[in-house]
Amino acid sequence: MPEPVAVSTPGGALLVWALMFPAAGALFALALGGRHAERVVLALMPVGLGLAVAIAARVLRADAALVYVVGGWAPPLGIALRADGLSAAMMITTAVVICATGLFARAEFQTPQGLPEARAPLAFWALLLGLWGALNAVLVGDDLFNLFVALELLTFAAVPLVCLDGRADTLAAALRYLLFALLGSALYLLGAALLFGAYGTLDIVLLSDRVRAEPAAWTAGTLITVGLLAKSALFPLHLWLPPAHAGAPAPASAVLSALVVKGAFILIVRLWFDVMPGLLTNAAAQVLAALGAAAIVFGSVLALRQARLKMLVAYSTVAQIGYLFLMFPLAAGSAGPASLGAWTGGLLQAISHACAKAAMFMAAGLIAQALGHDRIAGLGGIARALPVTVFAFGLGGLSLMGLPPSGGFVAKWLLLSAAIDTGQWWWALVIVAGGLLTGAYLFRVLTPALTGGEAFLPPPAPVARSREAVVLALALISMLLGLLPLASFGLVQVGRADMGVTP
Amino acid sequence: MTIAVTIAWAFDALLAATVLAVALWTIVTRETFAAVVGFVAFGLLVALVWVRLAAPDVAMVEAAIGGGVTGVLLLGAAARLRGVEAATAAEWPGKTLRLVTGALCAAVAAALAATMLLLPDPAPTLAPEAAANLASTGVGNPITGVLMAFRGLDTLLEKVVLVLALIGVWSLAQDSQWGGLPGPQRQAQPDQSLVFLARLLPPVGIVIGVYLLWTGADEPGGAFQGGALLAAMWLLAMMAGLAAPPPVGSRRLRLVLVAGPAVFVAIGLAGFALADAFLAYPQAYAKPLIIVIEIALMLSIAATLALLVAGPPERMPPR
Amino acid sequence: MSETTLFGLGASALVGLGLYGFVIHPEPLRKLLAFNLLVSGVFLLFGVIARRGAAVGMGGDPIPQALVITGIVVAFAGSALAVGLLLRLGQKTGRATLRDVPSPPGDGTTS
């Protein structure tokens, strides 16, 4: 059977624009400098959102992936870009979260009057655009080396955001993050080298055609997976995440937890479902999910023990990432309709967690700004001072917990059904236990916040209404995702021709 | 086997053994500064290995960037960290942990070696396809063809990576030093031999760098090699105090930094109109366009590499 | 043993060495050195694969060689960022390691 040759589909050029607008924007932001950097970002936000929606619409209408062959050179010689349903859905999520972050961060990263340029604002806006470009590149890349460069772009954009405030502990957290990320990249590249040596290409579509079940493929797959696990902070390689995400400024934490860690996870999914379909043995899938389960338990228990709100939310990220890895044993293999449900559930978890976690970090940021600290012990009665913020925080948390009609609920429901349908009831137990633990640490924050009595001395600083509105909007999105009819989740299923077919 | 082949093999074996020995020494030696010096030697030896692997372009980049610029970066770091308290004995992992780690790493290396030995023979290769399509790019050096044409998107993204890394390094400055000059205060009297070198080498280096760019179209060379050499010359001049580092707020500097990727993006997007695809070159103008991009890239790479070594701004320019 | 096998084994050993050094050393600068050794090993592996792909008069497959050039530049950028962080951390804490960095002030932080 002849090999598939990549051909640009109509609308494929949109993928190029999705990469170029943030890249060009970052260059403009640096060159123009000063307060123009912020204006460039604000001007590009509707562009990015529009592009993501346009790509999703095209993918849905064509019920097939969009492909673009860069430079007219088809793989294996050249590079192709490819956006299937997973890419399109995550691109929309990325655009929404980054737009919300940009709007939220305006108050915090404004160039002060009288100065032509300031350090933190310029760095934040330029790095935010770089981050957006990197995420899009990770989502539409179809070549393993191109994805390596995109991952490096993602890391170099994310790390300086962690230590933007210049404190010693955030510098240490950023350095630890960078070291973990560099190690992950090296292992990823090693695996890619083996794949090239064995099959003569790094294009994902061509590789899926050429890969066989042999030692080279397994070694490469293991190396790439371990490298990406370090970047997605799965237990036990999660140590870098809590100090990094908690130490960053609130808008940066939002983007880091919501989107950056998902980038590496999406690539692991691409590896085992697109590059090497059928090579994921059941044992390996169970190991991945076991690590995920450990992440859920450890992350939630450690979240319960935190003294600071932002650290609690960061450990919650460690826990919620564990749910994503339950997808592997449930969606891999020819499990029929159950695998399609698990696939949808896993991605819905990623999407709804992104919106909910971003909202929670932003809310924590507003609370810290109002009170001057984020100690959980000192949060009593904050709901009277910041009702909208605490409500948004609660909504986000309830979505993480899995309360209907949130996206989190639908995701966990789909994963639960898949677990029971495939007879892997132990994962169902893990999902239920995770929900209970999430509720525990959520209520540890909400109970004093809602019911505490003392007055605050000094009185809490005022918080801009527009910022609260952004946070609330994000939380509502994650809460109401479950109200979308199940058919609209068909977007994430485009490109999954091998699933949902009973053998 | 003929004598020549035997000698070549013996040389390769000696080279490989020396590389591993230097690498091992870099890992186990106690003193950090010595380890960095060992690493610079390692980089130059690895460049020799690349020559033996019939990859002169890569050898040049490894020598210039992998050994040279990275070496300067790490030497500077080791020197500046000398006054800082080193790791205490308590922070070192215990004997058992070291043994376990050693065993695991040996296992990884063994698995790699085994996989590599089992790679298919004849090896799958893209050389014939590259050779067949090289003519339409107008350049004669297949590596340049790959970097600029076939896999131009990689090069473009990599340029954006460099710019972002520089923004990240600059963001480490203190708020009060923003817009200032990178690098620590130079001593009043830099070493005379350094000043002598810095007067002698840069003109030669610049000529060679430009030559490397020009010849890279058809022979080994290119924008990266030329840019790295230019960066090294600029760093030399800055270290000797003959050239002042530019303030990071300077508009002109920023334009030079973004010129490379910006030109690349612009010509790439123009490809939509001129050649039916992003990053495609119209047949008639392929080589001139690639040269234009490479010139802009070389300048940006030179500036970015040098500034990445110089570090975040640490002092304000004298009034 | 052909030259590609020889250098391939050398590259594998280099990867193992770099990995060991990265995990063992407590000081970030030594970890960074080990990381550079590790990626050098990975690039050499690409180079061996390129050499094995020599054909039509070329000494080696140009694609992996170009990938290595890109990779060397990206690895340098990573090293530069790490050195910047390390030097700044050294300035602030007076120590060269990541342990015992003072935790944030007891009343938490704003933002």
Q: In this complex, do C89 and A175 lie within 8 Å of one another by their Cβ atoms?
A: yes
How close is the nearest chain C Cα to the Cα of A122, in Å? 17
- So what's the pLDDT on residue A461? 83
- pLDDT surpassing 80 at residue C12: yes
Place of tokens 């040098």: B306
- So what's the pLDDT on residue B5? 84
> What values do phi and psi take at A408, rounded to 5?
-60, -40
Question: What's the rounded Cα separation, in Å, for the pair A219 and A275?
Answer: 14
Tell me which chain A residue has its CA closest to the CA of residue B270: A71
- So what's the pLDDT on residue A170? 93
Which CATH architecture fits C3-37+44-93? Orthogonal Bundle (1.10)
**pLDDT tens, N- to C-terminus, chain A (503 residues):** 677 788 888 888 999 999 999 999 999 999 998 788 999 999 999 999 999 999 999 998 888 889 999 988 988 999 999 999 999 999 999 999 999 999 999 988 988 888 888 889 999 999 999 999 999 999 999 999 999 999 999 999 999 999 999 898 999 999 999 999 999 999 999 999 999 999 999 999 999 989 988 889 999 999 999 999 999 999 899 999 999 999 999 999 999 999 999 999 999 999 998 888 878 888 888 999 999 999 999 999 999 999 999 999 999 999 999 999 998 888 876 556 778 888 888 999 999 999 999 999 999 999 999 888 888 888 888 888 888 999 999 999 999 998 888 888 999 999 999 899 888 888 999 999 999 999 999 998 888 888 876 666 667 788 888 899 999 999 999 888 888 766 666 777 777 766 544 33
End-to-end CA distance of chain B: 71
Of C38, C64, C101, the CB nearest to A172: C101
Neighbours of B58 (CB within 10 A): 34
Pair B219, B139: CB distance under 8 Å? no
ipTM, 2 dp: 0.94
Q: In this complex, do A249 and C39 lie within 8 Å of one another by their Cβ atoms?
A: no
Burial class (CB in 10 A: 0-12, 13-18, 19+), A236: exposed
Q: In this complex, do C71 and A189 lie within 8 Å of one another by their Cβ atoms?
A: yes
* The pair of three-digit structure tokens given for residue A277, joined into one six-digit string: 């379909």
How close is the nearest chain C Cα to the Cα of B272, in Å? 25
More confident of the two residues C55 and B46: B46
- So what's the pLDDT on residue A15? 93
- pLDDT surpassing 90 at residue B192: no
- The 10s digit of each residue's pLDDT in B109-140 is 999 999 998 888 888 888 888 988 988 888 88
- So what's the pLDDT on residue A92? 94
Name the DSSP class of A256. Answer: I
Q: Model pTM? A: 0.95
The residue among B197, B109, B175, B265 whose CA lies nearest residue A112 is: B175
Of C42, C81, C92, the CB nearest to A189: C42
Place of tokens 């047949």: B283
Question: Domain residue spans in chain C?
Answer: 3-37+44-93
Q: In this complex, do B269 and A157 lie within 8 Å of one another by their Cβ atoms?
A: no
Query: What is residue B73's three-state secondary structure?
Result: helix
The residue among A363, A326, A333 whose CA lies nearest residue A348 is: A326
Q: In this complex, do A30 and B174 lie within 8 Å of one another by their Cβ atoms?
A: no
Question: What's the rounded Cα separation, in Å, for the pair A426 and B102?
Answer: 36
Question: Domain residue spans in chain B?
Answer: 1-80, 92-123, 142-319
- So what's the pLDDT on residue C87? 92
Pair A143, A204: CB distance under 8 Å? yes
Place of tokens 């859905």: A89
Q: In this complex, do C81 and A156 lie within 8 Å of one another by their Cβ atoms?
A: yes
Within 13 Å, how many C-alpha atoms sit on residue A40's CB side?
26
Nearby residues of B96 by Cβ (< 8 Å), 6 or more positions away: none
Pair A237, A298: CB distance under 8 Å? no
CB contacts < 8 A, B to C, total 275
- So what's the pLDDT on residue A491? 78
Q: Looking at the DSSP assignment, which residues form a beta bridge with residue C95?
A: B85
- Pick among C23, C101, C103 to test the A interface (most A CBs inside 10 A): C101
Pair B227, B301: CB distance under 8 Å? yes
Tell me which chain A residue has its CA closest to the CA of residue B148: A71
- So what's the pLDDT on residue A335? 54
- Pick among C2, C12, C48 to test the B interface (most B CBs inside 10 A): C12
- The 10s digit of each residue's pLDDT in B28-47 is 998 889 999 999 999 999 99
DSSP run (H or E) holding B182: strand B181-182
How close is the nearest chain C Cα to the Cα of A374, in Å? 5
Contacts B145 to C, Cβ<8 Å: 62
Average pLDDT, whole number, for chain B? 89
Pair A159, C81: CB distance under 8 Å? yes
* The pair of three-digit structure tokens given for residue B267, joined into one six-digit string: 């010509």
Question: What's the rounded Cα separation, in Å, for the pair B91 and C24?
Answer: 10
- ∠ Cα B164 B165 B166 (to 5°): 90
State which amino acid sits at residue A260.
V
Of A108, A174, A186, the CB nearest to C38: A186
End-to-end CA distance of chain A: 22
Q: How large is the C-alpha radius of gyration of chain C?
A: 19
State which amino acid sits at residue B297.
L
**Average pLDDT in the B197-213 region?**
89
Neighbours of C72 (CB within 10 A): 22
- Preceding amide of A236 cis, omega within 30: yes
E strands, chain B, in order: 181-182, 313-315
Q: Looking at the DSSP assignment, which residues form a beta bridge with residue A67?
A: A82
> What values do phi and psi take at A81, rounded to 5?
-110, 145
- So what's the pLDDT on residue A422? 85
Name the DSSP class of B245. Answer: P
Q: In this complex, do B123 and A197 lie within 8 Å of one another by their Cβ atoms?
A: yes
Q: In this complex, do C81 and A159 lie within 8 Å of one another by their Cβ atoms?
A: yes
More confident of the two residues A93 and C103: A93
Place of tokens 């990859």: B55
Q: What is the largest CA-CA distance in chain B?
A: 71
* The pair of three-digit structure tokens given for residue B19, joined into one six-digit string: 């590389």
Of C15, C63, C86, the CB nearest to B109: C15
Pair B209, B226: CB distance under 8 Å? yes
- Tell me which chains share at least 3 CB pairs under 8 Å with chain A: B, C
H helices present in A77-214, as ranges: 85-105, 119-140, 144-162, 168-199, 204-210
- So what's the pLDDT on residue A421? 87
- pLDDT surpassing 80 at residue B165: yes
- ∠ Cα B248 B253 B257 (to 5°): 105
Contacts C57 to B, Cβ<8 Å: 131
Q: What is the largest CA-CA distance in chain C?
A: 69
